[in-house]
Structure 1
Amino acid sequence: MHLKNHNRVFLLVLKQICFILFVVFNSTTFAQGPASNWYFGLRAGIRFDNLEPNTLLDSEMRAFEGCTSYSSESGNLLFYSNGDTVWNRNHQPMPNGTGLQGHPSATQSVAFCQLPNTNSKYFIFTTDGFDLNVGLRYSVIDMDLDGGLGDIVVGQKNIIVLDSVTEKLGIIEKCDKSGYWVITNQTLGNTIFTYSIDSNGLDTNANVSQGQISYSSLGAKFGYLRISSKGNYVALCHEMKHKVELFQFDNQTGLLSNPIVIQTPNLINLPAQSKPYGAEFSPDEEILYITPRNGFEGYIAQYSISIYDSTTIKASELILKDSIWTGALQLGPDGHIYGSSLYHLFEIENPNGIGSAANLIESAVYLGGRPAYDGLPNFVASDIVPPIPNIQICIGDSIAFDYEQECAISYFWNFDDPGSGSSNTSSFSNPVHTFSDTGNFNVQLIVQYPTLSDTFSNIITVVLPPAPGVLKDTTYLCSTQPTYLSAFQFGAEYTWENGSDSSAILVNDTGWYVCTIYNACTTIIDSSFVRFVEPLNIDLGIDTFLCDSAIIALNAFSAANVESVMWSTGDTASATLEISHSELEPFSVYWLTATNACGTSSDTIRIEFLAQPDVSWFSDSVLCDQLEATIANPQQDSVTYFITYTTDDVLNDTLDEPWRIDTFGLYYLHAFNRCDTVVKRAFLSPFNAIDVSLGADTVLCPGDSAVLNAFWPSSSYVWSDGSTDSILVVSHDDLLGAGSEMYSVTITNGACQRTASRSVSIEDLLCDTSNCKFSIPNVFSPNADGINDVLKISNKCSSVSFSVDIYNRWGQLIFSDQRAQGNTTIKWDGYINGAVASEGTYFVIIQADDRVQKGSFSVVR
């Protein structure tokens, strides 16, 4: 069985340089449990949410002194009481919850504790007040009754335990977790009674201890009995004796021993003896707080009890505050001690501190106008073990654990450190562990008791020493934004020169900022000079060009205020990017993205490569075969060209396009673009065309010959057969072997040349042996000049019928006439479907009565 999730204590020894740290291990971070809700005074109350006290105004209880409340482990209210009535969580009296024998004006009129091994039953103990002599009694609450709101069990109400007791009542859990000890003292004499509660219920046979202070009358009953939360001390305030009695407590036997009597000093502003009323121990059990008073005058006293010696304890007395209304003291789940003071609670923020280090805060919690009176809730002392911050150590330091519990029979530690191998667990009560790495480690301890086990955990943070240089020598921050300067390092704490303890501070001004950074390892001081920068506005300029052999530099910002850059080239280090024309194809787009404290800015630019104007093609030339030459504009990208006769009057001497050269002489070519202007001179001479044609391709019949005439004045000739005459004669017999031959001639006249050619072939089947041969011209020119405009095909024999088909060079039929008879002439005007036929060679097939004649002719214009 697992014990309910209470907080528990054990000792942690941190092996650093002569440094020992006592810690509290918590089973849950913010589990406030039974002491989450406090109800007291005249319908006053507070609730601890995440360890912060908040005022409650829903109470129905009036309690001048004694009172208590009880909450679930998750912090939800279950019930509360003043010793006379028990209210449920809906603030209604339980059906059988009135008429209890506690007195609302008794110092500790009531206390609750849970019955061991049950989830729904609770003891409620009561004491009477004044001289009523009703005694210590108990009742049993069953939370299963009244629909889950709880009620006192019939027949188990106001059961007498001990008659004639004082108003003192305290409860603490046993060290073996098997139950509780209930402590009170008798009205007469000096006997202190400790009763045991276990799974069998209440044992009415008390363990008896003796004190030094004895009572002889029923009226001397007032003042608190307080048990320390760790269960090692008990203090009894004897108000009418003006003394406090301090005991050591044995949690295994329930016995009190070694009493020390503390005489509280008189009031400072009132010549009267003080009456000690409230008492509380610090969480570390080293300090006892007392609130002596007399009437409306009181003070808060502090005693150091770490050395358990009467003389030493009395000599340690300190008055934290005098002339203050005081009543009860109660340790809260946040580790602070609270005290009743009229319409407020005062607070001792650091009860482990001596003197001013305890930090007393008057009027710390306002109760919404409702008086606290004298009392505060009387909780089970061990139910309130305040949380502590997570523990931090330096990497490499060893840490020793020691669980303070004599009743445990076995231990199992898990250090949440797999990197430590077999050292990650231990079964010792006081293991030593060195963590293998930095980080947060959730250390767990399972303690086995005779009848149950309990589990605790806490976070141990292992850190590296703070590293210098987190703050840059110079830090650039944005002038247009609320900007923070951060010194963050894992596990570190911070103190800035302005007093801030945050890892980052809001920075408004230029100047030096200094931060002290510290953790369990060491302390360093880091600093940075802050400069403010404006938002970036990256501007690479307008799109531009780059000339041959030139270099351009793109520079869009000052590198001083830029944190990072990225060029489209991949460069991440340069503020300037140099580009040469060789990198452009024929243009490139470049972009830059830069970041500073204000954000990111970017821009893009298009750079075009412009070549040097090319005039190499313009030179001294003889323009062959042209009486009038035309020079084409070369259309070089980005370059403009024009030609002039002179360089003096460019405007009036410029040739119109297309440039026609009809006179020899000097001409000037002008070429320019955005990079350069070039002017080049050349002598141009147009030359008459060598206008020679060898005629149309020819088919020779036996006995025929063809004359190929290439004559041109003042020229020389080279034929394809090597002859050099102007005329070449080809006969039918010359082609008997080859069947056909292409004859060509190169004609040279000065600097100019021309080549002409003609095909000559033999085809006997086409030859007319009847002497009725068709006449096919070898050329005609349908240019409407009246000369040779029509192709005429005829036959001198009147008895021959024939048809004519004409084909173009691709074998397409373009003309056909089937009407020829006798001497009829077939004519073609050189048009194809209404369009002028293009120049070139055409083929004709003549179908006669007894033969076919083929030939070809040329169309020229």
Structure 2
Amino acid sequence: MLYRYTLFILFGVLSCGVFAQGETSNWYFGNGAGIQFNNDGSVTPLNDGRLNTFEGCTTISDAIGNLLLYTDGITVYDRTHNVMQNGRGLYGDPSSTQSAIVVQKPQDPNILYIFTVDTAVFEGDPDRGMNYSVVDMTMNGGDGAVIQKNVNLLADCSEKISAVIKNCQDESIWVVTLGTENGGLGAFDTFHAFEVSATGVNTTAVKSKFAGLEIFDPRGYLKFSADGTKLACANSASGLFLYDFDATTGILSNQQNIGVSAPNKFPYGVEFSPNQQFLYTHTSNNAPADEVGTHSSSLVQYDLTAPNIQASEVEIDRRSIYRGALQLGQNGKIYRTIAENYLTGTSYLGVIENPNAKGDAANYRHNAVFLGPDRATQGLPPFIQSFFDRVAIIKNADGTSSTSQTICFGEPFTLESEVIPGATYNWEKDGSPLANSGNTFTINTADITDSGRYSLEIMPADPSECPIVGEAFILVNPLPDNPSLFLAQCDIVTNGAPDGLTTFNLEQAIFNSDYTYTFYESLTDLGSDSAIVNPIGYTNSNPYNQTIHYKVVDSNGCENTGELNLEVRDIIINLGDEKVFYTCDEVPEDTFLEGFFDLNAIQDDEYASVDVVFYANQDDASLEQNPISGDYLTGSTNIFARIETGNECEDIDLINLVVNPTPSFEFEQEIIWCTDGPPLTIQAPGGFDLYQWYRLDGANIVALGNNKELDISAVGNYILEIGYQYNTAEGIFECFNTTDFEVVPSNIAFIQDVDVTDLTDNNMVEVMVTGDGDYEYSLDGVSYQDSPIFENVEPGFATISVRDKNGCGISEQLISVIGYPKFFTPNGDNVNDTWQLIGVNEEYQSETLISIYDRYGKLMAQVSPKTSGWNGTFNNRQLPSSDYWFKINLEDGRVYQGHFALKR
């Protein structure tokens, strides 16, 4: 316990008083983020910082908590948030884990040393190792100036630095980093401890080299325990190490490599609990820095009192975030940075609320401190860890101790330290002495004014022994408000006499949803904590008026009690006097009646000036559960309208909702009208009360009539509306159903042309028509086809028939398909006795000339279509059986040649 008080000796020369120790009151870090610690242990975000750093940063305040300066290791900002005179160009780096730390010169509070450690982040970026610069706070009206810059201590080192007080007799401070033995390049194996005394910085380090230690990863935090006896070193990919430290000599010993068994094995941030029993580390999976969604981190605790420290590992948190720092605050809590990846931070810090407790009892809260618009990245400011070396004087019920406590107004609290025979106990609150001389300090009934920072200095009887300093942060929360509450309930009576008893929803009396309420029937029940088990559905035991009691508890566990007065008001409902509203069946095609009621419209029309809520049944209306509103889909039913004034039931109306049938009918969606015929008369389905026809004329709807039938004389889109009419006590109510239909045109075909391909082996006929109909075609008036093309047509005369499928009529035209017989037999049997073209007559191709030749090309005859044809003679002499040739000069100009056979 030799080192738990040295801050008194070192900083007692300041005018702030013995116990002030506000050097850690202000933190600036990340992208403009900051927090301030208050005397009651609470934290306030600061948004006036100018840092923009991915990792390294540091801050220092004076002993009473006034900001002095902060830096990312390159640029120094003064207390006014301006760049300090000569404050640019320090040899730190925002990408260095612990880019800088500030140490006050012993016996001279006006001189501050800024120690920096550099790193190289890209090719060509120099790594200038470890340096220090000197700040004189007397300059520039107290804003300070850098009077000496970048005094080199090591040519190269890791990205980590920590500091601790030497002891209470020797006012020096040790500043320690990890590097190589000679301070040059290579694997890190040596700790360098530089002593800062009243004479300045000793540039010759005390070295602690460890055989077999080879640290190649410079990333990660270096942190002393507050009592200066332990040093933890996180080296990311190179592992986590723990050492004993002799503050008298500056020598480290007893190296322990603590293997991380948690899934995320790369240690970065480290911190000791205030009682030095536990070591915490923030580990990660070391995923690529700029990736999104691949990072995972763990918060791991080790018990340093365990026989096997590594085996005591407890993972108290794991989530998908980037690596980050851990830093003990003056209120005894440990804060954790929360970042998405290397480039992107968040607006929150996590907090270990009870770091002196083992395992999950440490109570880690994620996103516990909101930083406002600014963001934390990976780093938090390091301090001389001795600032946090204080005896915890709050004794917890589980036997642990702590430095901060939240209690409720009116509760007692006791602060207590160990009993040291002959010692003197000096107590202060917020820097003012307290009239108390014992080892305990008790407040029997805490008031809000009792919130604050309590400090205890224990002066041993032996003047050669060092003083002991204890500290506690007390926050006294006010009790939640407990006004006298009133709840009026309506007792709905439809049959029988009223009795003044009904059900209440006691939770309707709750006036602050942030609080928890419990209700009791009597003070006796309140005293024994026998709560009403059914606050929703509670039935009063005293008719009409009854007083019950409630307990209200806030989020801090502070509780208060009050009264709730209940009143029952009789509401007599006479069946038949209810308000009735009608609607139409929403889906007339199904088998049940169900429709929508616009309850908002009912409220506006019937209850515009009162506070009303609708409920589906009487129980819900009484208990104010499951309110209904808006478009309410239901069958015919009764609902209840609860009318209130200031949450007091004034009246309840019974409302009858009636769903009337909507017409259901079938009607053709497309109706064909023969436009070359008379107007079309269409009929609506029968059995309904109301009819209305409409035609759509562009964007306009034109009413056509309200009879059951309608004469249509124009094609287009139409609407048929059919309705039922109901005569009610409230007046006429109508339900309509509509259907859209289209009148499409059809008519008889107009034959424009017939294309005949004849005198071939495959005679073809194609019919060309115009019209609005759907047509089919025939050559015999019996068999119809959809195609207007006929193939393999026999020669001769035929009548083309074009029929409208919609029944609008048939168009006909006679055609001729010309052909000829392949042979003839002029033997006088009156069968094939002559040869003549087929499909020609006096009307069709009558001027055609047919010339017949023998096989030698001699003209045998010339025949006209007007005759019966050639009889097989030449000059009245019968010609022999043979093939004969013909040439046809058709009237339409075509010329055709062929041959046929004469058979005898």
- TM-score bracket for the superposition, by shorter chain length: 0.3 to 0.5
The TM-score, its normalising length taken from structure 2, stands at 0.43
The TM-score, its normalising length taken from structure 1, stands at 0.45
Which entry has the higher C-alpha Rg, 1 or 2?
1
